[in-house]
């Protein structure tokens, strides 16, 4: 223990005692947080509507704000993807992150220059999550129609243009090409990285990344090309 401490001191210079240097900063943070919370709780009341009534459906019925992003994904995917697979994959993907990012650089500081691949991908997903929440929470009105904040919910929206489905062969081809190319191209472009993490981790990491971009891609297909499904089967559709 004593040896370790001297070693640390040599590496980073000055060592300070946790008490009081750290403990007082923590105290200040807690006091500040308490003040903010108290003011918030005094000035804004928690919402409470009428008593729960199963016979009177709220329209729109919104999930708590942190799940509204998933609810928004329901526009673009069937519930088994939007409500089950997407959250599970997000959790798995987050948990897998330290095991598929072999880059030893950028520990303990805000260093993005040495992490040009991981940081943008993560931030893309993070912003997508919050972007979907903002749309679902603030821009969706009755029947989950899109309303700008200045638009009146009482004015009904015109019906959406008819949606089209890809023929199954084309849809399957598109999905296969997306994943095959998506797995092959990074392996070819970044051979050093590929050799470093090996086939298994490469496939896991890029499959998760591709699934994330796939969700975004489907959103684009739906919004701009009115595509409902890429593949339709009697059991499930994507």
Partner 1 sequence: MSLFKKITESQIWRSIFRHRFEDTPRNRALATVSNAFLHLHPVTLPESALRVRFTFCLGGLTFFMFLVETVTGILLMFYYRPVTEYAYLDMKLLEHTVRFGMFLRNMHRWAGHAMVILVMLHMLRVFLTGSYKPPREFNWVVGVCLLVTTLLLSFTGYLLPWDQIALWAITVGTKMAGATPFLGADGPFHEWLHVHPGNDMRFFLLGDSDVSGNALLRFYVLHCVLLPVVGGFLMFVHFWRVRKDGGISRPL
Site for partner 1 in 4-23 (CB under 8 A): 5, 8-9, 11-23
Cβ neighbours around 153 below 10 Å, total: 13
Q: How far is the CB of 182 from partner 1 (least distance, A)?
A: 22
**CA of 25: how far to CAs of 20, 32, 36, in Å?**
8, 11, 17
Query: Is-contact 190 121, C-beta < 8 A?
Result: no
Shorter beta-carbon distance to partner 1: residue 183 or 232: 232
Question: Residues 131 to 190: which contact partner 1 by CB under 8 A?
Answer: none
Strand partners, 227: 164
Where in 22-61 is the site for partner 1 (CB under 8 A)? 22-23, 25-26, 29-30, 33-34, 37-38, 40-42, 44-54, 56-58, 61
Yes or no: say if 44 and 126 are a contact pair by the CB < 8 Å rule.
no
Tally Cβ neighbours within 10 Å of residue 55: 4
Residue (30 or 181) nearer to partner 1, CB: 30
State whether the Cα torsion 101-102-108-109 is positive or negative. Answer: negative
| 211's tokens | 């699934």
Residues 189-228 that bind partner 1 (CB under 8 A): none
**Positions in 70-99 near partner 1 (CB under 8 A):** 70-71, 78-80, 82-85, 91, 94-95, 97-99
Q: Which is nearer to partner 1, 115 or 228 (CB)?
A: 115
Distance of closest approach, residue 74 Cβ to partner 1, in angstroms: 8
């Amino acid at each position: 223990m004593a040896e370790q401490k001297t070693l640390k001191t040599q590496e980073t210079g000055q060592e300070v005692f946790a008490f009081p240097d750290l403990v007082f900063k923590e105290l200040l943070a807690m006091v500040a947080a308490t003040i903010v919370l108290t003011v918030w709780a005094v000035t804004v009341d928690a919402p409470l509507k009428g008593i729960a009534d199963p016979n009177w459906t709220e329209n729109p019925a919104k999930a708590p704000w942190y799940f509204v992003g998933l609810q928004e994904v329901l526009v673009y995917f069937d519930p088994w993807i939007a409500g089950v697979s997407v959250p599970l994959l997000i959790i798995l993907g987050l948990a897998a992150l330290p095991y598929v990012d072999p880059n030893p650089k950028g520990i303990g500081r805000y260093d993005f220059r040495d992490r040009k691949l991981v940081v943008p991908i993560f931030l893309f997903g993070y912003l997508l999550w919050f972007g979907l929440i903002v749309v679902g929470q603030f821009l969706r009105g009755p029947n989950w129609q899109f309303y700008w904040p200045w638009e009146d919910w009482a004015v009904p929206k015109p019906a959406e243009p008819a949606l089209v489905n890809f023929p199954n062969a084309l849809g399957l081809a598109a999905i296969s090409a997306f994943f095959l190319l998506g797995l092959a191209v990074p392996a070819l472009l970044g051979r050093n990285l590929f050799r470093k993490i090996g086939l298994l981790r490469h496939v896991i990491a890029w499959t998760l990344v591709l699934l994330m971009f796939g969700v975004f891609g489907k959103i684009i297909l739906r919004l701009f090309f009115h595509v409902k499904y890429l593949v339709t089967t009697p059991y499930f559709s994507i």
